Every structure is written in structure tokens, then in C-alpha cells.
């Protein structure tokens, strides 16, 4: 399977390594010309506002939005989840998102004291998954079509709406391939 990793900013190298370890062919997506090679896409963690700006300047924003709305399987992690969400709270004024995953996320929702932390997550199909949270968003609400695959502190941290998956944490930094494996399996089946 051919997987694209949005490579404008953030933790895209780690995503690439995980996908390659799972036997996929990876394209680093930096411009519209890279989209044709993608049967699934990963949007990494990083800084959602910076990524959005680079999506605009690279000319990638609109063609990528079209592919996503057309049903391209996507896994958004952390900032990537923010970019996929339908509603962003505490975003910059006029912060944009693709709106393909029916969740409300609050940027930097864990606040200062707990900005970054690690905890063990009970993920559906991947028990005792190492959860690495870095200035993570908090999912405050999910739409009726969204399945919650893991929670932390009563809040969803891994969600799925059909072929669109979002994690508030960083599965690519966990040293554990199971979530990527599940996503790629679902994307392949789609």
C-alpha cells in the first residue's frame, strides 16, 4: 500500500519510519504533485497553525481537502487531529481545519501543568499501549458517527469515523506499531 505522510512540518520522519516498518511505500507529501501516489495519508503532530500556513503557501491545501472529502483514509495525530477536526476551540482567530472528522478539539487542552506526559492506554485491540502526549489537544465532543477507541481521564484520545482516525497522542513515538497497523489494515480494506 502507498501511504503519504504530510511532511511540511512536525514529526513526519517518525511517521515515515513506522509506516516503512509495516511494509508500506511512503511518499513525503510536500506539494499537490505528491498526492496522486497516496492511498492513505498520515498527518503528523507538530504545530497546527504552522502546518495550516504551509498548506496554503505550498498550494496543497485545496487539492488535499478535496482528496480528504472524497474519502482518502487519514490518520491525524495531535496537530494532525486538530487539522482533521470539524471544530477547534482555542485556535488562533480564523484557524482552519479540513473538517473531515466529527470531533470538537481544544488546542493545548491539558494546560500548562500537564502539558506533556506519558500514560498507559487501554486501546481497543491494543491493550497497554504507551501513550505519549505532547501539548496535546483534548477531544471535548464527538459526533454520533465517531467510535472512541481509547480514553484517558474520561476523554476520548483515539477516535475513528470510518476511514478517518485521530489520536491526541503520538503513536509514532511509542515504539509500538499496533495503532498504525490497525489504521493501515482498515485503510487497505476500504
| 20 in active site | no
Q: Give whichever of 129 and 133 is closer to ligand GLN, judged by the CB atom.
A: 133
Is residue 48 a contact point for ligand GLN (CB under 6 A)? yes
Task: Pick the binder of ligand GLN from 59, 71, 108, 143 (CB under 6 A).
Answer: 108
Q: Give whichever of 81 and 187 is closer to ligand GLN, judged by the CB atom.
A: 81
Beta strands in the chain (DSSP E): 2-6, 25-29, 40-43, 74-77, 85-89, 101-106, 116-123, 126-134, 138-142, 147-152, 155-161, 164-167
Residues 43/74, Cβ–Cβ less than 8 Å: yes
Number of residues forming the site for ligand GLN (CB under 6 A): 11
Q: Is the dihedral of CA 138, 143, 149, 150 positive or negative?
A: positive
| 172 in active site | yes
CB 14 to ligand GLN: min, Å: 12
Strand partners, 121: 129
Give 116: exposed, middle or buried? Use CB within 10 Å, 0-12, 13-18, 19+. exposed
| 33 in active site | no
> Interface with ligand GLN by CB under 6 A: which range of 63-71, 76-84, 118-126, 148-156?
76-84
Residues 166/81, Cβ–Cβ less than 8 Å: yes
Residues 135-174 that bind ligand GLN (CB under 6 A): 135
Task: Pick the binder of ligand GLN from 54, 55, 78, 157 (CB under 6 A).
Answer: 78
> How many C-beta atoms surround the C-beta of residue 31 within 10 A?
12
Is residue 39 a contact point for ligand GLN (CB under 6 A)? no
> Interface with ligand GLN by CB under 6 A: which range of 12-20, 28-36, 78-86, 174-182?
78-86
Q: Which residues bind ligand GLN (CB under 6 A)?
A: 45-48, 78-79, 82, 107-108, 134-135
Amino acid at each position: 500500500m502507498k501511504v503519504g505522510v504530510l511532511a511540511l512540518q512536525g514529526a513526519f520522519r517518525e511517521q515515515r519510519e513506522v509506516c516503512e516498518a509495516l511494509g508500506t511505500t511512503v511518499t513525503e507529501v510536500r506539494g499537490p504533485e505528491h498526492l496522486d501516489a497516496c492511498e492513505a495519508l498520515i498527518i503528523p503532530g507538530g504545530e497546527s497553525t504552522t502546518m495550516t500556513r504551509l498548506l496554503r503557501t505550498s498550494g496543497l491545501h485545496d487539492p488535499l481537502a478535496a482528496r480528504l472529502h472524497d474519502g482518502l483514509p487519514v490518520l491525524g495525530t495531535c496537530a494532525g487531529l486538530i487539522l482533521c477536526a470539524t471544530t477547534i476551540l482555542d485556535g488562533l482567530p480564523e484557524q482552519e481545519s479540513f473538517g473531515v472528522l466529527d470531533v470538537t478539539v481544544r488546542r493545548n487542552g491539558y494546560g500548562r501543568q500537564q502539558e506533556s506526559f506519558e500514560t498507559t492506554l487501554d486501546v481497543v485491540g491494543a491493550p497497554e499501549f504507551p501513550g505519549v502526549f505532547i501539548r496535546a489537544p483534548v477531544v471535548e465532543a464527538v459526533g454520533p458517527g465517531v467510535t472512541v477507541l481509547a480514553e484517558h481521564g474520561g476523554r476520548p484520545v483515539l477516535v475513528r469515523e470510518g476511514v478517518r482516525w485521530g489520536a491526541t497522542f503520538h503513536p509514532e513515538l511509542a515504539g509500538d506499531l499496533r495503532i498504525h497497523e490497525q489504521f493501515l489494515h482498515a485503510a487497505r480494506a476500504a
